[in-house]
Structure 1
Amino acid sequence: MPFDESPSPVAPLASSRLWTAGTTGGVAVVVMLVIAAARPDISAWLIGGACIVAIVSWLGARSQPVAGQASSADVPATSRHGDDGRLLDSVFEALDDPVLIISGGEADDIAGRRIVLANRAARELLRVPREGMLLVSAMRDPNVLEAIDEALFGGISRTTDYAAGGSRARHWKAWVRPLPSPEGAALALLGLRDETDVRRMELMRVDFLANASHELRTPLASLSGFIETLKGHARDDPAARDRFLDIMAAQAERMSRLVADLLSLSRIELNEHIPPSGRVDLGRAAADVVDALSVLSQDKGVSIHLAVPEGGRITGDRDEIVQVIQNLADNAIKYSTTGAIVEIGLDIGLDADRATAPRMPGATRLSLLTPDREIGVRYAAVTVRDHGPGMAREHLPRLTERFYRVEGQKSGERAGTGLGLAIVKHIINRHRGGLIVESSPGEGALFTAYFPMTDDRTPSPMPA
């Protein structure tokens, strides 16, 4: 009997089912987009939800064979994936939020949870392939894993918090939903919403109010006292009036520096999780800092020795890198005696071990910030060394705390705000670098800030 090449009578039905599913998803997207235009505050959730509903409806229709039709495994891939399927797959990949579809093994076998599908945002965040990887290898947060289990085996929708690992803290809102599972397999949808900016804004407001109210109390009380004195018995005393006005001017300047440093620190912390994209020549940045501090160093009677080679280029924000070097050099000048030398150096092309190697023999050494290690990365290290009083071992761990000052070094003609090293730490953290301090009482201190170098010849590869 000859082979009948006429189309199967169920083919139009299957095609109609796929068309209907795709149309339903498309209508959902259109409706959600219309609502999103009227409600910008929830537009991101609406668009993401519409795309996910469309994908799920299309997958469900495609996975259910019609009577007499071959299973999806027997149909060529080009037949199974029509235009609607490719469009929805593109939408799934284009979502800004990480989204994963999780399958469950046995209820008591946590290692059986696998990633069925992960969009590009999820692959970049979790460093996972598109499909097939064990979930526990990518995420180990117990709250998220528990929520996934409840969705897989209890059909319960959950929302919880998720904190990504690494030196730069990021906060996510994880939402888990059970999915209609073809062929009886347990499936769950996991989405992550980045709430880092929201959390940082909240912390910034709280910290600013707490720090400002605490640190501004002393100069404000001082100003109030001098004003009261000038209005009283010192009103007709020119010498006392001039002396009090000089003190008041110094206190007002201190408050101005304090507010400026607090705002700078808050701004840096707010953008700390966003990597910079510019290019910075560390040698030129260090030379600019030396020029800017020349007047201060001459007034203090301190010499600055600069030794920087060419080629120390990194990916970064130039203004922030200059602020790092300037804060470190300013501290070195401030705590140096007249006639002392401040040394600023630059080493380039170092591996991680050489970048973090000791540079001040016999001194106590502590890493104040350690970046995530990456294979094959070369570093450029900026060193700032002073020969001042130095610091005892117990002070080193607290140097980057806000308003921390080493006992006995709080006073001086240019008393700082106690925020300089905190700003340095957060800037270096944003640039994926590290910070090390070495010090010994009577021998001075040496700070090393190291940054990943830029290879301008080859672009950075995108994660798979």
Structure 2
Amino acid sequence: MSNLDSQIRERTRLRRRDVIALTAIMTMVFVVLAMTGGIGIWEAIAAVAAVAALGFIYYLLVTAPVRREPPAIIAPAARPVENPLHLADTIVARLPTPVLVIGPGGRIEQANPAARDFLGLGAEGAQLSAVLRQPKVLESISGALRGEAQKPVEYSTFAPMESHIRAHVIPLKTGLEGPFPWRALLVMSDETSIKRADRMRADFLANASHELRTPLASLAGFIETLRGHAREDIGARDRFLSIMQDQTERMRRLIDDLLSLSRVEMDEHLPPSDEVDVAAIARDTVDVLGPIAREKGVMIEADADERAIVTGQRDQLIEVAQNLVENAIKYSVSGSRVVIEVRGGLTREQAEHSSHSLGNQAARVTIAVPSGSASGQAKRRFAVIRVRDAGVGIERRHLPRLSERFYRVDGQKSGPKEGTGLGLAIVKHIVSRHRGGFVVESAQGEGSVFSVFLPMPVEKPAIQEAGPARS
């Protein structure tokens, strides 16, 4: 009986330690989330109160004296009471914010699914330094493992995608005996959207003020002329009003493109997850831009597979197709043909190098490439949107700069339908967000081919229902 008593006491001590440690961890997590704006202050207070109540109830249960004699009648419970520790683990697992518990030597002892996805962890037990190469964060964790309070650490990465992270490191006293009584709680907050918004606001003001200066100056000059000596000149007034309308339309296109580019760049680090049929988008693009092509005497047609499903956002992919086809129509000569082709089920190499040949003199440049490891890309399949025109072509020296903001090729910078120089920049950023590729091939006198290839959905194997999280 003494041996049994000692086992019960030891088990009770361990349970007390576990519930105190877990309640402290949960409280810290909700406090950090409230401080960073992840959840509201009242939600955090309610969550902390619920966790504290559950921890207190469980503490009373595990410290209650054990009755040796069994009850006369054991009635089955109508509904089993969920383990409070399991409930707390479930809450942490459902949090969208990466949360990790780091043990001695920088070993990852616990990580919620958001942290595993964010860091690409295969399993717990790995060294944090192997997946997070940020010296300031690792130094802060080393200090927390010694029981020292730490300040938030900010760091940025720019490959494969730009991201800005704020890491909160909190020392946790476990109550364990031995040389390593401390653990480090690492909570990572993604502030990319906030940083991008600040930068986009400054860029938008700078770009808009620069590009709008010329049409605004033209409008001011024409208005002054119409109010002066051309007041009674009907011919001059009609001519000036027509030019003013063109300049106003140019400003409208410029503002629309700047807003579109800002929206795309804001979400570029967040890949889309919907399934989109790009073959249907190609056919819709032909229907929408057909009148513009006929007005210029250009024939436009779609050569698309029956279905080509990609992982993407439909509105943005429509913008890609329409930008490429509209450019092709704009720079094609009357009587020529523009073709938008869609092919699916291609490897990356096939998608990148299977464009229509324009001859040995054609120049080729890759503007964007799919992100991810080479082994992962080798297994993926891609769908290609390819737009070919029979225009004058583009000189080799211009190709690398086509996707720069406001860059326009010489000889294409004037006229009432002058572009804003933002269309291909928008295409590049949309393709980057979709983790796809963008290739341009052109030969002077023969035309150009713009190819965009996008990842197709991956068939996921059936996943068995996971058991309860470890405490």
> What TM-score results when the alignment is normalised by the length of structure 1?
0.82
Q: Which amino acid aligns with 1:327?
A: N
Which residue is 1:147 aligned to? 140
CA distance in 2: counterparts of 1:256 and 1:237, whole angstroms? 28
Measured against aligned partners, the alpha-carbon deviations of 1:293-314 in whole angstroms (never above 9, x if no partner) come to 1111111111123211112111
Which residue is 2:428 aligned to? 425
5+ residue gaps, structure 1, are 62-81, 106-112
Which residue is 1:290 aligned to? 286
Measured against aligned partners, the alpha-carbon deviations of 1:366-385 in whole angstroms (never above 9, x if no partner) come to 11111113342100001111
CA distance in 1: counterparts of 2:135 and 2:18, whole angstroms? 40
**Is residue 187 from structure 1 mapped to residue 183 from structure 2 by the alignment?**
yes
Which residue is 1:370 aligned to? 369
Maintained 8 Å contact 1:22/1:85:
no
Which residue is 2:406 aligned to? 403
Q: Secondary structure at the match of 1:220?
A: helix
Worse overlay, 366-375 or 229-238: 366-375
Measured against aligned partners, the alpha-carbon deviations of 1:189-232 in whole angstroms (never above 9, x if no partner) come to 22110112211211221111111111111100000000000000
Maintained 8 Å contact 1:48/1:95:
no
CA distance in 1: counterparts of 2:3 and 2:167, whole angstroms? 53
CA distance in 1: counterparts of 2:196 and 2:368, whole angstroms? 20
**1:406 Cα deviation after fit:** 1.3
**1:46 Cα deviation after fit:** 5.0
CA distance in 1: counterparts of 2:423 and 2:31, whole angstroms? 48
- Are residues 272 and 4 of structure 1, via their aligned partners in 2, closer, same or farther at CA, if it must alter by over 3 Å? closer
**Is residue 115 from structure 1 mapped to residue 108 from structure 2 by the alignment?**
yes
- Are residues 461 and 127 of structure 1, via their aligned partners in 2, closer, same or farther at CA, if it must alter by over 3 Å? farther
**1:446 Cα deviation after fit:** 1.0
- Are residues 226 and 44 of structure 1, via their aligned partners in 2, closer, same or farther at CA, if it must alter by over 3 Å? farther
CA distance in 1: counterparts of 2:410 and 2:260, whole angstroms? 25
**Is residue 332 from structure 1 mapped to residue 331 from structure 2 by the alignment?**
no
**Is residue 434 from structure 1 mapped to residue 437 from structure 2 by the alignment?**
yes
Q: Secondary structure at the match of 2:110?
A: strand
**1:96 Cα deviation after fit:** 1.8
CA distance in 1: counterparts of 2:30 and 2:442, whole angstroms? 64
CA distance in 1: counterparts of 2:83 and 2:44, whole angstroms? 23
**1:242 Cα deviation after fit:** 0.5
Maintained 8 Å contact 1:19/1:84:
no
Maintained 8 Å contact 2:342/2:386:
yes
**Is residue 235 from structure 1 mapped to residue 231 from structure 2 by the alignment?**
yes
CA distance in 2: counterparts of 1:158 and 1:90, whole angstroms? 28
Maintained 8 Å contact 1:348/1:381:
yes
Measured against aligned partners, the alpha-carbon deviations of 1:375-398 in whole angstroms (never above 9, x if no partner) come to 421000011112222222332222
Worse overlay, 273-282 or 204-213: 273-282
**Is residue 169 from structure 1 mapped to residue 165 from structure 2 by the alignment?**
no
CA distance in 2: counterparts of 1:291 and 1:336, whole angstroms? 18
Maintained 8 Å contact 2:26/2:88:
no
CA distance in 2: counterparts of 1:117 and 1:195, whole angstroms? 23
Q: Which amino acid aligns with 2:16?
A: R
**1:346 Cα deviation after fit:** 1.4
**1:44 Cα deviation after fit:** 9.6
**1:329 Cα deviation after fit:** 0.6
Measured against aligned partners, the alpha-carbon deviations of 1:330-378 in whole angstroms (never above 9, x if no partner) come to 1011111111221211121101111111523432221111111334210
Q: In structure 2, which of residues 120, 124, 127 is the aligned counterpart of residue 131 of structure 1?
A: 124
- Are residues 103 and 45 of structure 1, via their aligned partners in 2, closer, same or farther at CA, if it must alter by over 3 Å? farther
Q: Secondary structure at the match of 1:157?
A: coil
Q: Which amino acid aligns with 1:249?
A: Q
- Are residues 23 and 137 of structure 1, via their aligned partners in 2, closer, same or farther at CA, if it must alter by over 3 Å? closer
- Are residues 427 and 14 of structure 1, via their aligned partners in 2, closer, same or farther at CA, if it must alter by over 3 Å? same
**1:271 Cα deviation after fit:** 2.3
- Are residues 336 and 371 of structure 1, via their aligned partners in 2, closer, same or farther at CA, if it must alter by over 3 Å? same
**1:158 Cα deviation after fit:** 3.0
Q: Secondary structure at the match of 2:370?
A: coil
**1:458 Cα deviation after fit:** 5.0
Q: In structure 2, which of residues 408, 414, 419 is the aligned counterpart of residue 416 of structure 1?
A: 419
- Are residues 406 and 50 of structure 1, via their aligned partners in 2, closer, same or farther at CA, if it must alter by over 3 Å? farther
Q: Secondary structure at the match of 2:152?
A: strand
Q: Secondary structure at the match of 1:202?
A: helix
Maintained 8 Å contact 1:151/1:158:
no
Q: Which amino acid aligns with 1:426?
A: H
Q: Percent identity among equivalent residues?
A: 45
Q: Which amino acid aligns with 2:443?
A: S
- Are residues 44 and 272 of structure 1, via their aligned partners in 2, closer, same or farther at CA, if it must alter by over 3 Å? farther
Q: RMSD across aligned C-alpha pairs, in angstroms?
A: 3.6
Which residue is 2:74 aligned to? none
- Are residues 415 and 129 of structure 1, via their aligned partners in 2, closer, same or farther at CA, if it must alter by over 3 Å? same
Which residue is 1:251 aligned to? 247
**1:164 Cα deviation after fit:** 4.8
> What TM-score results when the alignment is normalised by the length of structure 2?
0.81
Which residue is 1:447 aligned to? 450
Which residue is 2:89 aligned to? 89
Worse overlay, 321-330 or 132-141: 132-141
- Are residues 19 and 341 of structure 1, via their aligned partners in 2, closer, same or farther at CA, if it must alter by over 3 Å? closer
Maintained 8 Å contact 1:167/1:370:
no
Q: Which amino acid aligns with 1:127?
A: G
CA distance in 1: counterparts of 2:16 and 2:301, whole angstroms? 77
Query: Following superposition, which runs of at least 4 residues in structure 1 exceed 6 angstroms of deviation?
Result: 29-33, 459-462
Q: In structure 2, which of residues 389, 394, 397 is the aligned counterpart of residue 391 of structure 1?
A: 394
Maintained 8 Å contact 1:368/1:437:
yes
CA distance in 2: counterparts of 1:28 and 1:245, whole angstroms? 67
Which residue is 1:109 aligned to? none
CA distance in 2: counterparts of 1:162 and 1:199, whole angstroms? 12
CA distance in 1: counterparts of 2:404 and 2:462, whole angstroms? 34
Q: In structure 1, which of residues 218, 221, 225 is the aligned counterpart of residue 217 of structure 2?
A: 221
Q: Which amino acid aligns with 2:399?
A: L
- Are residues 288 and 212 of structure 1, via their aligned partners in 2, closer, same or farther at CA, if it must alter by over 3 Å? same
**1:25 Cα deviation after fit:** 4.7
CA distance in 2: counterparts of 1:145 and 1:26, whole angstroms? 20
Measured against aligned partners, the alpha-carbon deviations of 1:102-140 in whole angstroms (never above 9, x if no partner) come to 2343xxxxxxx3212211110011110342112222111
Which residue is 2:66 aligned to? none
